[in-house]
Amino acid sequence: MKNKIYGNKFALDTFEAMFKSGRLPHSFLIYGEKGLGKKALAEYLSAALLCEKGTGIPCGECRSCRNAEKGVHPDIIYPEHSGKLNTYTVETCRHVCADAFIAPNNGSAKVYVFTDADNIQLPAQNSLLKIVEEPPDFVYFIFTASSKDVFLPTIISRVTSVGVSPCTFDECAQALGIKGYESSRISEAMENFGGNIGMCVEYLENESLRVITSLTKRAADSIISRDEYSLLTVMSSAELKDRHMSAVFLEMLDRIIRDCTALKFNKSASLISCYPKGAEKLADSISVKSAEKIHNLLNTAAADVRANVNSILLMSALCGEIINS
Ligand SMILES: [Zn+2]
């Protein structure tokens, strides 16, 4: 099973060392950007916690590991997202608190995995505080989220946080090669998403992400050349009439702005956007202040898109504001 995890060697080694030392925490938070393998790591840890061989590495052969791999282990529990925000509600968390005191079905432990906890609200977090602080001996919790900031400091102080990071280019290329993609397409995906395997796969599989990526780069080029007409052409593309697509576009463009700001302060900053070259040119052409203004405009626009504001009107207004900032 370890061979299914690419990169994140530090996280795996830390876990193994904690396991072997007998000082294993009961709650983990795996955090980091979309596509970096948080869920895969959560699956790996759950399997390791329940593996009958108890070495800290899932053997992949025992009954527990086989069930974990098939996703049918009764002691690996994935509470469900629900409600308006599609997240973990207070009711769901209270149910987990009660269920946690019931002994495991098969193995010696029970693992609750809360994936994509980004929208989890404060009342739900508060309802988990006590159980996360003092869980029954056989209970483990694993949370995954894009950032630690999602959680209350009181939760953060009770969990062991593990950050995921992009793979090296070689690891990513190898992982994508095993999945059967052609090398020219792998290079194209990695040009946009570096060592982020999840995003590379999405790029290769999903035509709309390829379109959005290209629109995002064109938008950045228009900002660099201060060309309002060309920015307007990009922003009024038919693809951006879709709310989800326009939200992804705004997020990807904001990452280029983020990279540009990072480069202003540190020429060798590590970059996270799909267009490092564009971010470099942008850093030469706009001030930190303008970058901050554009960042704020993009954030407000993203909130408006989520709140269902007409995205065509929004994009054309945004376009003028960006060029003038
Ligand atoms: Zn095993």
Evaluate whether residue 232 is within a structural domain: yes
How many A from CA of 53 to the centre of ligand 1? Answer: 6
Q: Are residues 44 and 145 in the same domain?
A: yes
How many A from CA of 131 to the centre of ligand 1? Answer: 27
Chain centroid to CA 92: how far? 22
Q: Residue 302 sits in which domain range? A: 206-323
pLDDT computed for residue 278 by the predictor: 96
How many A from CA of 66 to the centre of ligand 1? Answer: 7
Q: Is the dihedral of CA 116, 118, 124, 129 positive or negative?
A: positive
Looking at the predicted structure, is the pLDDT value of residue 115 above 60?
Answer: yes
* Mean pLDDT, the chain, whole residue set: 92
Give per-residue pLDDT as tens, 34-65: 889 999 999 999 999 999 998 889 999 999 99
Q: Are residues 189 and 240 in the same domain?
A: no
Per-residue CA distances from 81 to 27, 116, 124 (Å): 19, 9, 12
Evaluate whether residue 26 is within a structural domain: yes
Evaluate whether residue 201 is within a structural domain: no
The structural domain count of the chain equals: 3
Q: Are residues 29 and 152 in the same domain?
A: yes
Token pair 């994508």 is found at 176
How many A from CA of 40 to the centre of ligand 1? Answer: 16
How many A from CA of 107 to the centre of ligand 1? Answer: 11
Looking at the predicted structure, is the pLDDT value of residue 11 above 60?
Answer: yes
Partners of residue 111 on adjacent β-strands: 76, 140
Give per-residue pLDDT as tens, 63-108: 999 999 999 999 999 999 998 888 999 999 999 999 999 999 987 8
CA distance 123 to 151: 11
Evaluate whether residue 24 is within a structural domain: yes
How many A from CA of 201 to the centre of ligand 1? Answer: 29
Partners of residue 87 on adjacent β-strands: 82
Q: Give the confidence band of 4 by pLDDT, cuts at 50, 70, 90.
A: low
E-only strand ranges, the chain? 27-31, 76-77, 110-114, 139-145, 160-163
Residue 252's CATH number: 1.20.272.10
How many A from CA of 1 to the centre of ligand 1? Answer: 10
Residue 97 amino acid letter: C
Q: Are residues 234 and 104 in the same domain?
A: no
pLDDT computed for residue 213 by the predictor: 96
CA distance 182 to 200: 13
Q: Are residues 44 and 134 in the same domain?
A: yes
How many A from CA of 179 to the centre of ligand 1? Answer: 25
How many A from CA of 298 to the centre of ligand 1? Answer: 47
Q: Are residues 105 and 174 in the same domain?
A: no
Q: First CA to last CA across the chain, in angstroms?
A: 50
Q: Are residues 178 and 267 in the same domain?
A: no
How many A from CA of 52 to the centre of ligand 1? Answer: 5
Q: Give the confidence band of 2 by pLDDT, cuts at 50, 70, 90.
A: very low
Evaluate whether residue 188 is within a structural domain: yes
CA distance 188 to 302: 27
Evaluate whether residue 294 is within a structural domain: yes
How many A from CA of 42 to the centre of ligand 1? Answer: 16
Angle at 290 between CA 300 and CA 311, to 5 degrees: 30
Give per-residue pLDDT as tens, 186-233: 999 999 998 899 999 999 999 999 999 999 999 999 999 999 999 999
Taking the CA atoms of residue 210, residue 212, residue 217 and residue 221 in that order, the dihedral angle to the nearest 10 degrees is 140
How many A from CA of 19 to the centre of ligand 1? Answer: 14
Give per-residue pLDDT as tens, 150-183: 999 999 999 999 999 888 889 999 999 999 999 9
Specify the 3-state DSSP secondary structure of 5: coil
Residue 112's CATH number: 3.40.50.300
CA distance 106 to 282: 57
Sheet architecture: strand order including 139-145: 76-77, 110-114, 139-145, 27-31, 160-163
Q: Give the confidence band of 237 by pLDDT, cuts at 50, 70, 90.
A: very high
- Per-residue pLDDT, averaged over 109-119, amounts to 96
Q: Are residues 253 and 236 in the same domain?
A: yes
Evaluate whether residue 200 is within a structural domain: no
Q: Are residues 175 and 102 in the same domain?
A: no
How many A from CA of 189 to the centre of ligand 1? Answer: 35
Taking the CA atoms of residue 72, residue 74, residue 76 and residue 79 in that order, the dihedral angle to the nearest 10 degrees is 100
Looking at the predicted structure, is the pLDDT value of residue 3 above 60?
Answer: no
pLDDT computed for residue 1 by the predictor: 53
Q: Are residues 24 and 59 in the same domain?
A: yes
Q: Is the dihedral of CA 199, 72, 135, 89 positive or negative?
A: positive
How many A from CA of 57 to the centre of ligand 1? Answer: 8
Q: Are residues 98 and 184 in the same domain?
A: no
Q: Are residues 151 and 13 in the same domain?
A: yes
